[in-house]
Structure 1
Amino acid sequence: MTVDNTPDPTERSRWRPLRLLQAAMDADIARIYAEVPVEGLKPSFVMELIRLHAHGPMTITELAESVQRTHSAISQKVAAMRAAGLVRTTAGADARSKKVTLTAKASRVVDRLAAEWRAAEAAIAEIEAEIPYPLSRVVTDIEEVLRRKSFHDRIAEKLAEDVAWE
């Protein structure tokens, strides 16, 4: 209890089960990658490594757009992948851009990473077939609801009603 005798709002969460489920599934994927093994490989690098393999060298901006992440997030990830010896960067067409390319180390394992990606997608499809309301449908349905009224607007409306937000 807080000083004003209201319960800790973080003790209840509709999101926590989803986050815990995703964390558990990600941990299982990490266990698969630990079996590869490739020093410095993190599951969070895999999409970008596969994308670079499939489409060739890209600027950080192109890679960010390709995987629907921010330039800043991909720039940080590229720095971590470079430190792990999985990619290298070279000067791009202008002085402000960098081209990202796979190293030989990454090229040796990228086909295995793509195989794991396909296996994970197949496992998710299998799981969805066993449940009455697939997660992919839930996501699509939530996206449709949020097109009608954004999450931001919904939160702002609730805060306007809460005296603690004043």
Structure 2
Amino acid sequence: MDHQPAPHYLGTRLRHLLDLLETDVARVYADLGLPDFRPRYTPVIRLVHTTGPRTIRDLADTIGVTHSAISQTVNQMRRDGLVELHPGHDARHRIVHLTDRARALIPTLDAEWTATTAAAHDLDNDLPHPLSTLVDAALRALAAKPLRDRIHEHL
């Protein structure tokens, strides 16, 4: 008997889905000889590589994550020898630059990115509604009306 979790455990199921996706991408990096490489590094490296050094704020805005999240990622990347931080036009701004080590990974990361994009399209085709479309729609809906507001309407 196939047991389906209750639909009201949405947050738990979304975290599980994200964990499945991230774990498999991390395994691909390990398969490519990069066992300690974190999937969240790739958007930073690709963006800085294609557009040049960027501030942490600009990276956060462009990638679509919080300043805190990208700051933590960049600090871990610095510890891993993938980026250097240079001062910006004032003390509050830090500019992210790639190291030679990160630049050496670009061909591998580009191949992985292309393959992962194709695999995501395959996944979308296997679903009744494309996951990428649903995620984008959910983000837009929550930007227009946060879940907190929706919850308060039902309290």
Q: TM-score range, shorter-chain basis?
A: 0.7 to 0.9
Deviates more, 1:145-154 or 1:52-61: 145-154
Output the CA distance in 2 between the equivalents of 1:94 and 1:143: 33
Output the CA distance in 2 between the equivalents of 1:71 and 1:42: 18
- TM-aligned CA distance change 1:88 to 1:18, over 3 Å: same
**Is residue 29–residue 35 contact of structure 2 (8 Å, CA) maintained in 1?**
no
Output the CA distance in 2 between the equivalents of 1:47 and 1:63: 9
Instruction: Report what 1:164 is aligned to.
Output: none
**Is residue 86–residue 105 contact of structure 1 (8 Å, CA) maintained in 2?**
yes
TM-score with structure 2 setting the length: 0.83
Task: Give 3-state SS (helix, strand or coil) of 2:89's partner.
Answer: coil
Instruction: Report what 1:26 is aligned to.
Output: 22
Uncovered stretches (5+) of structure 2, i.e. residues with no partner: 1-5
Q: 2:53 aligns with which of 45, 51, 57?
A: 57
Output the CA distance in 1 between the equivalents of 2:76 and 2:151: 34
- TM-aligned CA distance change 1:122 to 1:39, over 3 Å: closer
Uncovered stretches (5+) of structure 1, i.e. residues with no partner: 1-9, 161-166
Figure out how many residues of one structure are paired with residues of the other and give that number: 150
Deviates more, 1:144-153 or 1:123-132: 144-153
Output the CA distance in 1 between the equivalents of 2:24 and 2:116: 10
Structural mapping, 1:103-122, within 5 Å: 103-122=99-118
1:81 is displaced (CA, Å) by 0.5
Q: 1:44 aligns with which of 40, 44, 48?
A: 40
**Aligned-residue RMSD, C-alpha:** 2.4
- TM-aligned CA distance change 1:39 to 1:104, over 3 Å: farther
**Is residue 90–residue 98 contact of structure 1 (8 Å, CA) maintained in 2?**
yes
Percent of matched pairs sharing the same residue: 37
TM-score with structure 1 setting the length: 0.78
